[in-house]
Chains A and B, each alone.
Chain A
């Protein structure tokens, strides 16, 4: 497997605050990596470092390039949607396509026009006249028409209604993702991309709490719904997090042999959202 992104001991400080603190990870080709963290965890800073928008300490290689020093070369093969609002409001859709065609060597105008024809976005409309959902459709169509190796999405569906959000991810999978391309995505709406991701990474206080493939999660993590004496017994195996639900205890275990917990309650694999809370709160406790 070739590694598209390789980070070794990457750090970035703003004054005394270490936004990213000695982080190491790899993203391999063909993966859809979800990056999660609370607000201010360092997600956006890490993405910016990957995109070459900010410099950092340590060694970071994206597509074999130094993202900060070789940003122009990198951007020929990376796309990103940082937030729904970034397309300039004054530009017309046709102008945007003209511009992309003239500056981006890997942009296919016919493909973009084809993708747009399936939406309500008119070619002669101004971005400022489009609804938020349509702007995102436009942005995704443009990005999808770029033959890029890595797509970085930072809260791409923020502020969109559920229909546009669902459509966004289905278009992303159907039109963009082909197994060759790689996606790095952050969002607060974890549930919506849970079935889409192949890999997952949690970050908090600038440090990585979890870096795993989705397949490996059930082997590592288990959630147990239990109560009374069983709860006390289960607690001896060191749950990383415990919460109360309708008078019962829900415990999250990491790397505990399921046999040990047998008969102590209802076991199941935690959802990514629950796992996220368990890891973040558990680490804080």
Chain B
């Protein structure tokens, strides 16, 4: 099934043309890795999917992004962002307790029942492989957790509102290799239930976890194919150069 369909997407921030004529599809229940050097438009692309770019006053776009054949601009923004969760580059817990961090989104969508909130928090912390580490200290500040734990907390928080898609924006850039492995494990497991778009600076990470890989360069989508193919027989010389580490 097609999750996202993107038609001739162009994005500008003021005079800067950040995304140029991008056409692509994202399939359900797969991990799409998005790679490319800095300033290639990866994160901008990601933030278009949940319309987070619109917080920037200079943002303009043309073309269309469709979520399950519905233009994202036609969907109520709160509902869209509930369906499309996001995990940011740095672990960004809210200044609340561990429990309240996970429960925050659920509460904002109207859930008040204590039992149901507790159930949801436990369920999603387990999905994010964090439950065992935090089950006895749920009322502590989320800032007392380590960086890797915080990032898994952010994943649990995203899962709690019941998304269909999860966007990862370089989720491991601030993490050590062991924490990274844990986050990657979580991602591969999550693929069964969710569609994942993973922006990463780490080419090897894309090779490890993604089913398909898209290569962005200077705001253009250079190539999008099965990960195996991108990493063994890329069609474009620039893709080849980037994954071999010739630039980037």
Q: Do A and B come from one complex?
A: no
